[in-house]
Amino acid sequence: MVEEIKIITHNRKARHDYFIEDTIEAGIALQGTEVKSLRLGKVNISDSFARIKDGEVFLHGMHISPYEQGNRFNHDPLRVRKLLLHKREINRLVGRTQEQGYTLIPLRLYFKRGKCKIELAVAKGKRKYDKRDAIAKKDAARRIERALSKR
């Protein structure tokens, strides 16, 4: 059986700005009209990050636009949202994020079997020279591909 996943959004900036060490899937505690906005794709996770506080994981900076027909039932677009993980997964993340320079960032947001899920990554920030190296490698690969396709 193939699991159907409907991707809502990607964090394209994440793979450019961070070295991705490990990924984990988590659920999100959402309220009413936020799900309707997600189904319309009105969300931005590019500047968001997760923090662990008191044994729970919270997502900061994810912007879900207010639902147009939601009127008074709409919620704060930038509110802090709780992520749903098992205790052993949270303990593992605590150990990984306490290492110097590691953080939790979202990579993608998607629907899986009707439930909204987020893929979190344990990541370490890239330095400027690391980013330049990655760009140089992409350019070289592009030039090689172009040269091979001309033949």
Q: Give 27-71 pLDDT, tens digit per residue.
A: 999 988 888 899 988 999 988 999 999 989 999 999 999 888 877
Q: What pLDDT does 96 receive?
A: 85
17 or 107, greater pLDDT:
107
| Whole-angstrom Cα Rg for the chain | 18
In three state form, how does the secondary structure of 16-51 look?
A: HHEEEEEEEEEEECCCHHHHHHHHCCCEECCCCEEE
Q: What pLDDT does 45 receive?
A: 92
φ, ψ at 108 (rounded to 5°): -155, 160
Q: What pLDDT does 1 receive?
A: 58
**What is the Cα–Cα distance from 26 to 97, expressed in whole angstroms?**
16
The pTM (predicted TM-score) of the whole model is 0.80
The band of 2, judged by pLDDT with boundaries at 50, 70 and 90, is low
Q: What is the dihedral of CA 78, 94, 116, 40, to 10 degrees?
A: 30
**Second CATH level (architecture) for the domain 5-125:** Beta Barrel (2.40)
Residue with tokens 């309220």: 31
Mean pLDDT of 111-130: 88
| pLDDT tens digits for range 57-110 | 999 999 999 888 877 778 888 999 999 999 999 998 898 888 788 899 999 999
Structure tokens at 56: 């729970």
Structure tokens at 18: 């961070």
Percent of the chain with pLDDT over 70: 98
Q: Where are the beta strands (DSSP E) in the chain?
A: 5-10, 18-28, 43-44, 49-53, 56-60, 63-64, 81-84, 102-112, 115-125
- In this structure, which amino acid lies at residue 139? D
